[in-house]
């Protein structure tokens, strides 16, 4: 089977072999969770593999952006320098999928770096790859990650040895740049940041529950009730099955956004 992996010129790595990156693809991922890190990786000359169960295109959860995998679980390289999981509205599905978890556990055992952004760390936790590690996640998923026995960080990018994770959605760009800097150096990361013209100046101060205010947080809770419930139920299933070694409190005390909602 042909591997249609994206390869960019090694303009920053010289004669060195490019780092091999395996990025998990699944139905219902959030596009920017994938595209932000992907862009930083390829700009830094890394060789990126978009890996899924099959070569059938997958659809994101945010408007139906379609992305084609470049290889499959069975055909992918046996070892990646960087293993990556994006978050998404349907993240509960890979969390409970035996084939996905088996592939992650296998590749994660040999990867130099095991990484994720948004609620992607919950998939790593389900695969047993965050046992004894600290990780960041989307603010609305912190309590759920803690239920899986992970020490939860509120940092935008969290580095704990070879586990590197990012917060929600847009944090994927910061995560990608931090990981490039960590692996290839500041010059490579600065190059990627310059090409992307990444100088964020958000027009509103609403990127966290504290700054957005109660009304906007309530709006988010209302519209995300279904995926929040599905995620909470998936975590409960894993805990009931004994897949979570313990639980840790979320240090900033942000409440579970699904607390008090009726289950469906």
User: Catalytic residue positions?
Assistant: 118
The phi, psi pair for 59, rounded to 5°, reads -115, 135
How buried is 189 (Cβ within 10 angstroms: 0-12 exposed, 13-18 middle, 19+ buried)?
buried
Torsion over CA of 92, 93, 95 and 97, rounded to 10 degrees?
Answer: 160
101 in Cβ contact with 126 (< 8 Å): yes
Radius of gyration, CA atoms only, the chain: 18
């Amino acid at each position: 089977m042909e591997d249609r992996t994206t390869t960019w010129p090694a303009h920053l790595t010289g004669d060195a072999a490019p780092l091999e990156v395996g990025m998990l693809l699944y139905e219902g991922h959030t596009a920017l969770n994938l595209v932000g890190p992907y862009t930083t990786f390829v700009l830094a000359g890394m060789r990126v593999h978009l890996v899924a169960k099959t070569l059938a295109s997958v659809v994101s959860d945010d408007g139906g952006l379609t992305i084609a995998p470049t290889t499959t679980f069975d055909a992918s390289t046996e070892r990646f320098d960087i293993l990556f999981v994006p978050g998404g509205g349907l993240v509960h599905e890979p969390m409970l999928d035996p084939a996905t978890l088996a592939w992650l556990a296998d590749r994660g055992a040999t990867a130099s770096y095991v990484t994720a952004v948004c609620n992607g760390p919950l998939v790593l936790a389900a695969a047993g790859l965050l046992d004894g590690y600290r990780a960041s996640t989307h603010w609305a998923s912190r309590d759920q990650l803690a239920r899986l026995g992970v020490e939860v960080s509120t940092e935008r990018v969290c580095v704990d040895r070879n586990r590197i994770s990012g917060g929600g959605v847009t944090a994927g760009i910061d995560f990608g740049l931090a990981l490039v800097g960590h692996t290839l150096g500041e010059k490579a990361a600065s190059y990627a940041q310059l090409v992307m013209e990444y100088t964020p100046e958000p027009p509103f101060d609403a990127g966290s529950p504290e700054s957005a205010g109660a009304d906007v947080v309530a709006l988010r809770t209302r519209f995300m009730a279904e995926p929040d419930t599905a995620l909470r139920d998936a975590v409960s299933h894993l805990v009931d099955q004994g897949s979570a070694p313990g639980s840790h409190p979320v240090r900033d005390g942000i409440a579970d956004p699904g607390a008090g909602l009726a289950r469906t």
